[in-house]
Structure 1
């Protein structure tokens, strides 16, 4: 049975339960399996040797998630080739592709945790009540050690973009 964490997050002020551990800077990043498209999966190993900024959103079709992904797309263009920005949600891969096309997103890699919720459980961001991922940010160094974590306490709030980007810049 996966660990459940209560009292750490809310959705519009209502308490929610997160499934999985609370990761901290210095932890080895857990592996995961997510989908690039309906048939092709990706894991942490697919981005080996790169600094990774992982932006986790509940759904790209909401205002804050839209803004968060657009902001990190802009930042990704400035961070160089040794950095990959991954946006992970449980949106279906074709919905992610449609949204990226409509939004002009071309630097962020969108990945879907819809099938197994393996990322959500491994990173402690799966919301038990609604099976979406809690907004959060993880920065991993080239050796897959977590260097920065931000778990938001309220789903509808924005992450600290500046701190996340600063954490990436220290690693490149």
Structure 2
């Protein structure tokens, strides 16, 4: 892109926006580029608000991830120091295993579960998997009760929501400035 005069760079966090009256480019940390043609002075005036909103989204995501880390540490400490908590967890694991075995060992319940439109596809896939390999039940239960695994899954959701929010905001800005 050729600039006929020097664009004004604005740097906040990992977002760099170059602005000139006819064009705007936004480079995010993921390397995506957004281009708005014929940007008006009114759109240029909105850039600080957009950047501020992006910063809020980033802060909210960081705070949510920090809260997850805090809760994981608290839970790990409780499981380490509290026999009652460990016993409760073991009881929950045993109940879940019993319920899963009950479904896969009763053909009628198994078919009802597979045909249930309210049961998510991932759970139907899990039932098929453990029906074929019942030893997978223990692996699944251990995974679902592993604090680090749970924390990483929640952080992944937060990161995806952050990315979607940032993308939606930038796309909305670009769309409104065309």
Higher relative contact order (Cα pairs below 8 Å, separated by 6+ residues) = 1
TM-score by length of 2: 0.23
Greater fraction helix: 2
Greater fraction strand: 1
TM-score by length of 1: 0.23
